[in-house]
Structure 1
């Protein structure tokens, strides 16, 4: 399965791998098996009690029919895009931009599932095969996709690193805008270095940056100071 590169609403480029048809089908089978076991055990339990017919119908409706009917919607909404089957298969529903779907997206996926499957003889499987991000019709309508779990973690780590792109971000060091691309690259390479004398290089570079930009660090460490300088530089670079 090839990776899908997307641009988020925060203009961050990330890559994610859509779940395969096989993984999605196995997850669905697991869910159906669990639903079957739940229905069988519940009906067996009810049959051991002698209840009035109207009361039996109400109890069956509340404890069996409604949970089964809304199973996928409730699981995905309250378990961050995962039913039990999806969790076992390590796949998850996300928005196409990598963010977490809202209630309306989960609801739309649930409402369109009969069209993807039972009512059309599995037309959704064909749509999954033909779409770039392996989306069924419910996904296309809701703007969602199903991805591998490891990509979900990587996406949100990536988004956390780009909080300077949010509309309410205010630079700590406006002077960072005066840095050149080469100077910003030096800071990046120094911070990413794994050399034994990394701490000394960071200290030396932090001192040079302070003198160059005529700023006084507000952070409690030189490394954090350089990280903030680089973050503010990137903020201004995107404004140009």
Structure 2
């Protein structure tokens, strides 16, 4: 099972501060509507796997901060979009919640904790009132750069895990094909031996040998 957004039209929930009019909502929205549709569809599809759903909820929280940001709005949007990219890679790396490896599960749980820490930091920076953001401008810039660097590391880690999973699947399939071909080769070799000592076997056996060879041919990549 692949945790991907469903292809049917998803029902998008209204975000805090959004309005009922689709046209007005699009004008007021910082992030594209398609991102929200994809996020909510992914969140719904992850119901059977709570660790992934928790991570998606963390991404949703950061996207909502980007929408409501009073300060550093561009940076808040960059952070939100990056976390969306990461959660998409994570979803691709987890084909089935029942088959997730222990290292991947630990990485996902760690990422959820990181998202919560980033949410706290971005709330303090982007949603602060008064002169606080201007008084701590340099410190806020350092915090944002640190967050972006951390998210870049997470992205590359999960991307590497996803690529490794695909390579392992391909290796497993190739090994199965080779094993099947060897079994078929052994089977038709045994038939040849039988035919060599008994020329009176029915024609059906010769046909079986032909089909066996043909199966080996189809099984080879």
TM over 0.5: no
Higher fraction of strand? 1
Which structure is higher in helix share?
Answer: 2
Larger Rg computed on CA atoms: 2
TM-score band by shorter chain is under 0.3
TM-score by length of 1: 0.25
Q: Compute the TM-score of the two structures, normalised by the length of structure 2.
A: 0.27
